[in-house]
Structure 1
Amino acid sequence: MNQTKPSLKNWFKGGDPWVWLNAAAVSVSVIAVLGLLAILAVNGFGHFWPSDVRLAKYQLEGMDKPVLVMGEVADSIGVPAQQLIDAGFNVDPNQVTHNRLLLKVGNRDVIGADFAWFLEKGFQDVLYPAEVMVLERREWGNFYGTLEAVKQNGEIIAQVNGDNYEAVWADFEKTLVRADKIHEEIHEIEKSAIGSINHGMERLRLRERGLELNPPSNTALAIEQQEIAAERAELDAQYAVLQKELNQLYQQIGRDAIVAKVADGSEVTIKVANIVRATRPNALTIFGKIKTYGSKLWEFLSEEPREANTEGGIYPAIFGTVMMVLLMSIMVTPFGVVAAVYLREYAPQGPITRTIRIAVNNLAGVPSIVYGVFGLGFFIYFIGHHADQAFFPEALPSPTFGTPGLLWASLTLALLTVPVVIVATEEGLARIPRAVREGSLALGATKAETLWRVVLPMASPAMMTGLILAVARAAGEVAPLMLVGVVKLAPSLPLDGNYPYLHLDQKFMHLGFHIYDVGFQSPNVEAARPLVYATALLLVIVIALLNMSAVAIRNHLREKYKSLEH
């Protein structure tokens, strides 16, 4: 005992307990982060895996006859027996819990709901037929059933009869591939070609309005009007050609349809043009499921949303998030660095400067929604309104910059994060030895040259640290963006081929707001839940990639200017 006490005392005095405590804290943090990412990945990206579809009879005591149920298991929970008895179910009270399954049955246009709960004990003769197909549609969600026939112009060209199911399925796949190609052509014409024509028409309208507001001489006015009329006639001719092509494409894509049978035996006709993807998950091999999973995941990352954001992809939200963060970074860095340089290098170190530093630190703690209200009032209602009157009078009363948009959202977040950049840059400037500055001045350099060529390059890693912190905070903000530019659905990107190419006045989508909208505003909660997890994980990945890029630049600058610090 006499030897144990001194050794235990020395162990505490040596600091070993604090080392183990810190190691435990770091381990718990890493496990928590990895656990969170695993939950998001499993519940989010696992949604795209093509699950097997069951076909079974379902009957509980009290039901006149069994009903056929077709769908894929989406979730399962254990329900206490007493709760089921209280709800009127005849179950065994000696069994503590009974399993309850949530099946995605689809066919919302037929039965009115995508999901339904069933007691597992009620299922009989559970089968997984290879003929069962899952159709992802542009409207009305998934369809579950079996293929019966393929139609063209209202006439059956292939019908299931005996053992020819594979041949009919092959015919259906051919029509689906052809419809997808036509749909891509339609999308290209409507979004790009006709979109450019509409942009040109709007430009001509604003040009005419400008002539009305500021009429030139009669001769110049006549020339301008002739030019506008000629350009409009050319655009009208182009539009007529494109509209004729569109009509032909719509006729071609509308001729194909299929006849499918649902679980209760009734038949429905589905336009092939309304089908995005058709699979038979029960017949897929593991490699086929991996291929389908990759296709659905790529669609999620690269396509526009459908069905109130519960189907399709989130590419516009990814693009909007990255674009907003890049613009915010371009705006916040110069302002933050200039403010920090002034406070550290030029401002008298007196009460006023100390008060400014305190104010900057306090700004970092202001709730983000306050910045949103400020951005709405100052940037949009004041600056945007006066900018419209000064530079875009021909567009009034429709606002150009006097409405929420990408520019104001980026400026609002730049204002929100500028205190972080100021503080980080000031700390970096304070760490530069005074001898470096004095050596540069002794060699004949001016103070401005010393600042520009010596001090700022050495402080650049600290600037990048401030930018990293700014990006980490700004990319996940949602509350202020709801007031200054983010919307539920904006499939048109703010960057396109029409002048001025980057449209800072347009509204945009954001991953953070997409999570809020899908998770709390969606009319189809069960269908939206997996997308909330997937989008949350994607937002984390986007923020991590942006931060890793900034970290790589910071490390490069740190190595480059390390020799100047010694």
Structure 2
Amino acid sequence: MRIGLKNWYKSGEPWVWLNAGAVAISIIMVVGLLTLIAIRGLGHFWPADVIQANYIVPGQESKVIAGEVVESEEVAVQRLLDAGLPVSAEQSEFLERQLIKVGNRDVYGSDFQWILPAFLQGPELPKNIMVVERREWGNFYGFLKEVREGDQAILVDKPLWDTFQQRIARAEGIHDAIYEIEKHQIGRINASLERLRLKERRLELESTLTNAAQAELQLERAELQQEYKQLEQRLGELYQQFNQDHFVAETVDGRQVTLSIGSVVRAYQPNAMSLLGKIAHYGDKVWEFVADDPREANTEGGIFPAIFGTVMMVILMSVIVTPFGVIAAVYLREYAHQGVVTRMIRIAVNNLAGVPSIVYGVFGLGFFVYFMGSAVDEAFFPEALPAPTLGTPGLLWASITLALLTLPVVIVATEEGLSRIPRSVREGSLALGATKAETLWRVVLPMASPAMMTGLILAVARAAGEVAPLMLVGVVKLAPSLPLDGNYPYLHLDQKFMHLGFHIYDVGFQSPNVEAARPLVYATALLLVVVIAILNLSAVAIRNHLREKYKALEV
């Protein structure tokens, strides 16, 4: 028996089972984590039923509450007794309490409330209670009483709810028109006026501002200002239409409020919705989360600018790091003398891969932003000074900083790929009359391209999730515009941008409304994982294609 057990250990089979168990546990943990994030994040968008009940706590004034049950937890009875609640500890040491989203922050002062279900009386699901998502002040829960145009109530034959939905759609169309004018058309004019100002300043610095040039600039400026006045007039008309519709609603405790329909994003009655209606609403909310801009201090709306900024930064980082990493690896493997200096360089490269990312951020801020950026401004953008152009954190410096951070990964992976190419392949190419450069370009690099893509995959995986260095070199809480738009020069490398990783940090730890922000932290984290997975899978697909393409060259 002992000999058999000894032979079993010598065969290595226990280590196979141990490795298999470790891999299985790792997979289970990863899948469990992603499942938890998905449930907590994606469940937020489902239109939950709204309960209405009398909340009667002995010794306190009774009140009527309505809202969505967000979460439940067990709390110690002693903790409730210390809080002055009249509960009994005879039956159990713990009691259930629920977090209710009651909304109406402008009425109640807070849109979340903890309650004890034991003190609820007569909970019901009224069909006509509505949830109104607003651009400010969060959700409103209550009953629709009246729809007004100006100071007059709208009297129509159709149901009041249909009239309300029609007016919301009308206000949403006006809001889109206002957004188009303010964001794009007026933005284009402002960008053109700024270019004219900088052009005039540059001519002054060069002492070439003639009367003819100044007259031409004044003519262009006058045309833009005339167009701006027309848009401003149109904008005033739209705002007048946008603000003329109102609705009167009543809270569950009998308070009546008058609100602008222009402040409404959507309104729905969850207790009266069918399953298909809830699925359609869910899809609409998920699409809003992916495709719209954030609002309410990033606790409502979408995160499209953060998605765009993350992808744009990773693409720029990849474009920068790949050629430099490949060139460095080719030099170290193919051209450099394999001596002490080369070994020290490799050791330094390997050590750079372990440097904390915040150190790269500090270096990027000091060297790229303050030193190189200021020098570039003085050399190429003197007309904009003292306002910085590239001498301030922005997309360019963030991409270069992350390229520097991931450069060791690309160098090491490319070197490993070059080292696996047989010497006979190089010698065969040279024997056929090719030069060393031709051999490198036409034979060696194509065979090593899968290894280059492996390095790029690892670089993308690390760079897309980094947050600490980006906080110093370009990422902000809320960017007013995307770094890529229709205004010249179209790609604005000097602009600050939003990032999914920083968005998670900001919403999770800097939000003024923690309870409202918590589900969005999970949803954004899930989306960040999806974005990184898509970027990595794209690189993996390219690597596999290159591997199949150059398989015939392998020996």
CA distance in 1, matches of 2:483, 2:126: 47
CA drift at 1:524: 0.4
- Secondary structure of the residue aligned to 1:113 is coil
The yes-or-no answer on 1:286 pairing with 2:275 is yes
CA drift at 1:92: 2.0
Instruction: Check the 8 A contact 1:81/1:95 in 2, yes or no.
Output: no
- Secondary structure of the residue aligned to 2:371 is helix
1:287-333 per-position Cα deviation (integer Å, ceiling 9, x unaligned): 10000011011000000000110011000000000000000000000
The yes-or-no answer on 1:75 pairing with 2:34 is no
- Secondary structure of the residue aligned to 1:486 is coil
For residue 507 of structure 1, what is the aligned residue in structure 2? 496
Task: Give the counterpart letter for 1:168 in structure 2.
Answer: L
Instruction: Check the 8 A contact 1:146/1:262 in 2, yes or no.
Output: yes
The yes-or-no answer on 1:149 pairing with 2:146 is yes
CA distance in 1, matches of 2:11, 2:205: 83
| RMSD across aligned positions (CA) | 1.1
CA drift at 1:239: 0.7
The yes-or-no answer on 1:199 pairing with 2:195 is no
Q: Name structure 1 gaps, 5 residues minimum.
A: none
Task: Give the counterpart letter for 2:101 in structure 1.
Answer: K
Q: Residue 40 of structure 1: which of 37, 40, 44 is its match?
A: 37
CA distance in 2, matches of 1:520, 1:186: 33
1:414-450 per-position Cα deviation (integer Å, ceiling 9, x unaligned): 0000000000000000000000000000000000000
For residue 105 of structure 1, what is the aligned residue in structure 2? 102
Task: Kindly report which structure 2 residues correspond to 1:225-374, keeping only aligned pairs within 5 A, or say none.
Answer: 225-374=214-363
Q: Residue 93 of structure 1: which of 89, 93, 97 is its match?
A: 89
Q: Residue 452 of structure 1: which of 441, 465, 469 is its match?
A: 441
CA drift at 1:6: 4.4
CA drift at 1:264: 1.1
CA distance in 2, matches of 1:150, 1:95: 51
CA distance in 1, matches of 2:41, 2:91: 33
CA distance in 1, matches of 2:55, 2:356: 53
For residue 30 of structure 1, what is the aligned residue in structure 2? 27
1:79-137 per-position Cα deviation (integer Å, ceiling 9, x unaligned): 12222223222212123221111000111111100101111111001011011110110
1:341-386 per-position Cα deviation (integer Å, ceiling 9, x unaligned): 0000000000000000000000000010010010001101011001
1:141-179 per-position Cα deviation (integer Å, ceiling 9, x unaligned): 1111110000001111149xxxx9x80000000000000
Task: Give the counterpart letter for 1:90 in structure 2.
Answer: P
CA drift at 1:15: 2.6
Task: Give the counterpart letter for 1:496 in structure 2.
Answer: D
Task: Kindly report which structure 2 residues correspond to 1:375-524, keeping only aligned pairs within 5 A, or say none.
Answer: 375-524=364-513
CA distance in 2, matches of 1:414, 1:83: 52
CA distance in 2, matches of 1:67, 1:513: 41
CA distance in 2, matches of 1:483, 1:67: 49
Q: Name structure 2 gaps, 5 residues minimum.
A: none
Spell out structure 1 runs of 4+ moving beyond 2 A: 4-16
Task: Give the counterpart letter for 2:515 in structure 1.
Answer: E
CA drift at 1:24: 1.0
CA distance in 2, matches of 1:35, 1:158: 55
Task: Give the counterpart letter for 1:211 in structure 2.
Answer: L
CA distance in 2, matches of 1:556, 1:339: 24
Task: Give the counterpart letter for 1:83 in structure 2.
Answer: R
CA drift at 1:14: 2.8
- Secondary structure of the residue aligned to 2:98 is strand
CA drift at 1:26: 1.2
Give TM-score scaled by structure 1 length.
0.96
CA distance in 2, matches of 1:524, 1:323: 29
The yes-or-no answer on 1:559 pairing with 2:548 is yes
CA drift at 1:250: 0.6
Instruction: Check the 8 A contact 1:158/1:171 in 2, yes or no.
Output: no
For residue 182 of structure 1, what is the aligned residue in structure 2? 174
For residue 128 of structure 2, what is the aligned residue in structure 1? 131
- Secondary structure of the residue aligned to 1:468 is helix
Task: Give the counterpart letter for 1:193 in structure 2.
Answer: Q
CA drift at 1:20: 1.6
- Secondary structure of the residue aligned to 2:360 is helix
Task: Give the counterpart letter for 1:347 in structure 2.
Answer: A
CA distance in 2, matches of 1:83, 1:205: 65
Instruction: Check the 8 A contact 1:71/1:106 in 2, yes or no.
Output: yes
Instruction: Check the 8 A contact 1:304/1:491 in 2, yes or no.
Output: no
Instruction: Check the 8 A contact 1:420/1:466 in 2, yes or no.
Output: yes
CA distance in 2, matches of 1:428, 1:228: 57
CA distance in 2, matches of 1:486, 1:235: 32
CA distance in 2, matches of 1:82, 1:330: 60
CA distance in 1, matches of 2:28, 2:269: 38
- Secondary structure of the residue aligned to 1:197 is helix
1:374-423 per-position Cα deviation (integer Å, ceiling 9, x unaligned): 00011010110011011111101100000000000000000000000000
CA distance in 2, matches of 1:133, 1:279: 6
Instruction: Check the 8 A contact 1:417/1:470 in 2, yes or no.
Output: yes
- Secondary structure of the residue aligned to 2:465 is coil
Task: Give the counterpart letter for 1:404 in structure 2.
Answer: P
Task: Give the counterpart letter for 1:461 in structure 2.
Answer: P
Task: Give the counterpart letter for 1:74 in structure 2.
Answer: V
Give TM-score scaled by structure 2 length.
0.98
Instruction: Check the 8 A contact 1:149/1:158 in 2, yes or no.
Output: no
CA drift at 1:251: 0.8
- Secondary structure of the residue aligned to 1:475 is helix
Instruction: Check the 8 A contact 1:379/1:408 in 2, yes or no.
Output: yes
